[in-house]
Structures are given as structure tokens and as C-alpha cells.
Amino acid sequence: MKKEFIGLVLTTFLMTMSTTYPIHAEAAPPINFVIIQDTNLYPGDDGGSSPLGAISPYQNVQLAPDSPFSFYDKRGSDEWLKVQTWLGDRWIRDDDKVLYGTYAEQRNTLTLLKTANLFNQPDTNTKTNLMLAPQEIFSTATIHYGPKYVINAMSASGQSGTWYQIDTWLGPKWIMNPALMEDVHAEPIDFKLKLMGAETVFLVPYEQEGSGEILEPGTVQAIAKWQYAPLPANVITWYKINLPQGERWVRPKNETIEIKSKS
């Protein structure tokens, strides 16, 4: 597959997902990186000289305009990035202290729908043994991140997402790609939905083991529909339905028939 075609597919996918993560060094806006730990600045890409300074977390830096760079070149264990700083264009190591993406301070109250792991930093290696149950949370910052090496749109999707910094009883912590009610964009509908097999229904449109109820095959009233694509060509559909015990959400695993009234 040609690089130009991959770039087009990937750019289209990320625009659909409303991410700010750029794809190619030739595209606008400039390529952004997020410093998540203290990172030294060097005059060259050999690390042989003393550091000229350091960048503290959490900050955004941009790739220097004349720096050779491509998302299609696999990054090794000793790579460097030439970035713009207050000292001019300087070099930093492209290691685990650097994420490809954008950091923003955003103070929002969010609704967590599914249990989430807590991390000390926006780094999967800092996972704690603590988890947050579904509840209202207060987020103070986000990092929209993407892959360091692009093979195709699907691989880029699987390595892209969002870190949220949140206030906890232990101080600031991070959660990765949480299930949030604010991300549910359901459209109102009004028709009968015939379920051809037994399904599990939930109070919220996310599956969590032990939280569902079994619904036998039959016809139910559908009042909302939410569709999203976590991966290209993988569309997930949830229906909000009315049941005697109240409103529930179902993601059908068996065949369904939408029975719409004739106008």
C-alpha cells in the first residue's frame, strides 16, 4: 500500500474520531509531542555533550520545521527528536518520557460508566493496584495521543486514545480511554425492535461483567440508537429500549429486525 493512501485513510479516520493528533510532517498543524517526565535538551542528536536544560512535565513541544521525520519510519530504541524550545531548536530523546500527541488543561466534570484503572502518570507502566468504580469524576487535563509508528489506519486506531488526569483522594491520577457518558451520542428513534435471540441488557451503554440482565427473545420498544466505530469497519450499535423495569441498553449479539411504522 502506498504511503499517500495510508496517510489519506489515517487522516480521514482520525478526523472522524475528532482527534487533534497530526499524521504527517508535511501536514498542518505542526507535529506535537507531550513531555510527561523531565526531559533533557541537547545541542545535537548524539547525547555526548552536557544537557543545555530540561523540559518539565506536562508540556507540549513541536517538531522543528527542518527536522527529518516520518511516521512511516519505525522508531528504534535510541531515536532523537529535534524540537522548538525557548533555547531555540534543540534535541530530545524519543523515549517513554515523550508521547506523540497534545496536552491540554481542561477542567470538566465527567460521568464514568465503567471501572477504570488508576495510573500515577500517563504511562501504562505506572499502573497502580487501585480502580475507580462508575461515578462522577473531575478531570483537570487531557492528553490525546497517537502511535509513534504508523502501519495502517487500523494499527493507528488501536494505539490512539485519550488520557485524563483526575482528582482523587490520593491526589492527581490518570485514567486511559475511560467509558464516559459524555461520549455517548445517541439519536432519538421510535420503532419496535425484534430480538431474535436472548440478549443482555444494561443500565448504561457499556458492558461490564456481572451488571447485566438477561432479556429473552421478543419485540421491544426502541427509543434511542448509538453507533460508533472503535476500529475501521467495526461499527458497534447500542439501542436504548423501554422495558417493564425501566429503560435499558442492549448491544445485540444476535440478529435483530427494526420494525418501523409506515408513514
* pLDDT digit string (tens) for the chain, length 263 residues: 334 333 333 443 343 333 333 333 334 457 899 999 999 999 988 877 889 999 999 999 999 988 877 777 777 778 899 999 999 999 999 999 999 999 999 999 999 999 999 999 999 999 999 999 999 999 999 999 988 877 766 667 777 899 999 999 999 999 999 999 999 999 999 999 999 999 999 999 998 777 899 999 999 999 999 998 877 778 999 999 999 999 999 999 999 999 987 75
Same domain? For 253 and 164 the reply is: no
Can you give the pTM of this predicted structure?
A: 0.80
Same domain? For 178 and 227 the reply is: no
- Strand 98-112 with 32-35, pairing: antiparallel
Residue 253 sits in a domain whose CATH number is 2.30.30
Domain boundary among 183, 205, 228: 183
Same domain? For 159 and 240 the reply is: no
How far apart, in whole angstroms, are the C-alpha atoms of residue 69 and residue 78?
14
Same domain? For 206 and 112 the reply is: no
Same domain? For 130 and 24 the reply is: yes
Closest CA to 230 of 251, 200, 204: 251
Domain boundary among 149, 168, 183: 183
